[in-house]
Amino acid sequence: MLESDDKRTSGLEILRLASKVGKGWFALALAERLDVQTYFPDYILRAIAFACYPHVNDATLKRIGQFRLKAQGDDGPLAQASAGIADLQSLSSADFMAAFRDGAPNDELSLFAQYIEEFRQ
């Protein structure tokens, strides 16, 4: 049922499993299924940012950004919106994230980086 193309069916199965196995174990199992196309609701991004902001630095954010760019390729929307993958790779971590956020302000990573900054203040 999790593999169903019907969003309603798979969504209901996800909720059933979360209730059965508990949120923590379910989160670990679900994490294995995430990829660069996974959409995170804003409240989830904020919660993750709150939980990990003391431990996430610009170098970590750059590695996440590089992964997202590589996974989408040169023709992906992030590479097109950003200065291009090759141009971004040579930047320092802080400059990479600034360029990434300027090029793709609505990307989940850009929003996540914004929330990290907010919690640091």
CA distance 112 to 56: 11
What is residue 80's predicted lDDT score, i.e. its pLDDT?
63
Residue ranges of domains in the chain: 1-33, 52-120
pLDDT band at residue 70 using 50, 70 and 90 as cut-offs: confident
Q: Using an 8 Å Cβ cutoff, are 52 and 58 in contact?
A: no
32-49 confidence digits (pLDDT tens): 777 777 788 899 899 999
CA distance 58 to 61: 5
23-34 confidence digits (pLDDT tens): 676 677 777 777
User: In 10 A of CB 114, how many CB atoms?
Assistant: 15
User: In 10 A of CB 7, how many CB atoms?
Assistant: 8
